[in-house]
Amino acid sequence: MGDRPVALITGASMGIGEAFADALAARGYDLALVARSGPALEAIAARLRAAHDIVAEPFVADLEERAAIEAVAGAVEARFGHVDLLVNNAGYGAHGPFETVGAERNAGEVRLNVEALVALTSRFAPAMLERGSGGIINVASTAAFQAVPYMAVYGATKAFVLSFSEALAEEFRGRGVRVLALCPGATRTNFFKTAGEGAKVGSFRTSEAVVRTGLRAYDRGRSFVIDGTANRLLAFSPRLAPRGLVARLAAQTMKR
């Protein structure tokens, strides 16, 4: 630690978050790894320290809780002093009729997918702007581009992440801080153990492919990127049809 940049990655214990940890460690970042699973984080941190001779520290926290967000942000600042790259990856989705998912599950999606992301961005972006350097990668989804019946809350949270990220990218333009919304489609992660296989649309991509797409777009200063050619077509094709029709077609697909 010292001259190396520091990345904070949420949801770092598996899937896209772990793939970001691998890729950024290979780039020479020190890592603050945040997730609920302590043993998984410890194992990843130990592996990356040994492989890349970096500092990799696990921070166990449930980011659905506002107090936990404040605590982990303070702990990261105490350990590293600053954050150069914030990767807001933590999130989940529930699949099913809105009234059967349950009020607490729906509210939990908003707390994690939206409120935690905004809170961490609010905590670390001002210091980046003051230094005139840094970046934020927010993991959105192809679900951000249209209404998603039977995953109504998840789609709405990801639409927020996309809009929020694009807006900040413009606000911060020319001030040394980049903001990217990374929009993957179906990815081979534990996401579908929570959401259910019925939430899957399109072919699976790997977490490593998603992260390569994201970091390439980040390096180029993009404000958003969709991973995979098929996913790009899937995301943009709804623009060619009335929104009501798009929602009805999506309902037929997601209702299964």
Question: What confidence tens digit (pLDDT) does each residue in 155-185 have?
Answer: 999 999 999 999 999 999 999 999 999 999 9
Taken in order of first residue, the domains within the chain and their CATH numbers are: 6-254 (3.40.50.720)
The owner of tokens 């970091």 is 215
Mark whether 150 is an active-site residue. no
Q: Return the pLDDT at 2.
A: 61
Cα–Cα distance for residue pair 251/29, rounded to 1 Å: 42
Q: Which amino acid, 136?
A: I
pTM, whole model, 2 decimals? 0.88
* Span 182-211, average pLDDT: 72
Beta-carbon contacts of 198 under 8 Å, excluding residues fewer than 6 positions away, are 95, 150, 254, 256
- SS in 3 state form for 91-127? CCCCCCCHHHHCHHHHHHHHHHHHHHHHHHHHHHHHH
pLDDT score for 1:
53
**Dihedral class, residue 96 (left if φ above 0, else alpha if ψ from -120 to 50, else beta):** left
Question: DSSP 3-state assignment of 12?
Answer: coil
Of 92, 150, 154, 218, catalytic: 154
Distance CA 230, CA 210 (A): 13
Rounded Cα distance between 129 and 167, Å, is 15
Instruction: Please name which of 49, 53, 71 lies closest in space to residue 62, comparing C-alpha atoms.
Output: 71
Question: What is the pLDDT confidence band of residue 230, given thresholds at 50, 70 and 90?
Answer: confident
pLDDT digits (tens, 9 = 90+) for 30-63: 999 999 999 999 999 999 999 999 999 999 999 9
DSSP 221: T
